[in-house]
Structure 1
Amino acid sequence: MTTPPLTNAHYHQKSRELALTWQIDGEQQTFRLSAEMLRVYSPSAEVRGHSPEQAVLQTGMKYVGLKNITPVGNYALKLHFDDGHDSGLYTYAYLWEMIENRELWWEDYLHELDRAGASREPLGIPLQSGS
């Protein structure tokens, strides 16, 4: 299936989930992705590297959230995470791929954490920037 049109993106701060609404066969359908999954599968070179061998396993992201969402033209979102990460452009096609494969990708992520002896839990107390 080709990528359907994205019609809305709304961040739910309490659940730390991004709700994405797509126009599918004439109907609006909403799917949610956790901020953690979005962060660990960031399309940025910082996370993915320039090849699969250069990918960096993201650990300690269980409580990561979003600070802002910036639309980029009519093709992508720039997500600004509260840990300072904001270098990836999430194309609508990539977000749709993530939705279609979310269970498999999540299982892969948990497997890689286990294999590395790493955790979703942060190593220390997260500090929130004050205003």
Structure 2
Amino acid sequence: MAAPLPIDIRLHIKSRTLELEYSDQERFELTAEFLRVHSPSAEVRGHGRGNGVLQTGKQLVGIKGLEPAGNYALKIIFDDGHDSGLYTWDYLYDLCQHHDSYWNRYLAALAEAGATRHGNMIAKG
């Protein structure tokens, strides 16, 4: 079954969030950082299972713009120059539905790598 399509999409530049409304009962806000580190691009995910690249230092990334990609996806243009990921409607809805588990998995991966969200620094013990 396909994910529902959002009925409204709002980019909040100042708070660096993307708001997706699916119904009166379903409204989500995803931060630019969350979207950036979960980009569906090959640059982030890699070119095969397990080949992904951990994204670090993206805490202050913002979204410069949004572009529709046909009727199936949204292209998000980030202010760090990244713009190659196409976020399908199914993928965006999945990110909304599983935000907490994906975020916690990302934070655990950062900790395991000794990396931080605050730049390309190595976390100190």
Q: Report the TM-score, using the length of structure 1 for normalisation.
A: 0.86
2:74 is aligned to: 77
Aligned to 2:89: 92
Q: Give 1:82 deviation, angstroms.
A: 0.1
Separation in 2 of the partners of 1:32 and 1:92?
15
Is 1:3–2:11 an aligned residue pair? Answer: no
| SS, match of residue 53 in structure 1 | coil
Answer yes or no: is 1:22 the counterpart of 2:19.
no
Q: What is residue 118 of structure 2 aligned with on the other side?
A: 121
Tell me, yes or no, if structure 1 residue 12 matches structure 2 residue 12. yes
**Offset at residue 52 of structure 1 (A):** 2.8
The code of the aligned residue for 1:78 comes to: K
Q: What is the count of residue pairs matched by the alignment? A: 121
Secondary structure at the aligned position of 1:106 is classed as helix
Shift in alpha-carbon separation, 1:72–1:28, aligned structure 2, 3 A: farther
Deviation at 1:28, TM superposition (A): 6.4
Deviation at 1:14, TM superposition (A): 1.7
Q: Following superposition of structure 1 onto structure 2, how do residues 49-68 of structure 1 map, counting pairs within 5 Å?
A: 49-68=46-65
Structure 1 or 2: larger strand share? 1
Q: State the identity %.
A: 50
TM-score w.r.t. length of structure 2: 0.90
- Deviation string for 1:74-128 (max 9, x for gaps)? 211000000000000000000000011100000000000000000000249xxxx
Give the distance between the partners of 1:81 and 1:36, measured in 2 at CA.
9
- Structure-2 change in CA distance of 1:94 and 1:83 (3 Å): same
What 5-or-longer segments of structure 2 have no aligned partner?
A: none
Query: Where do 5+ consecutive residues of structure 1 fail to align?
Result: 125-131
Higher relative contact order (CA 8 A, sep 6+): 2
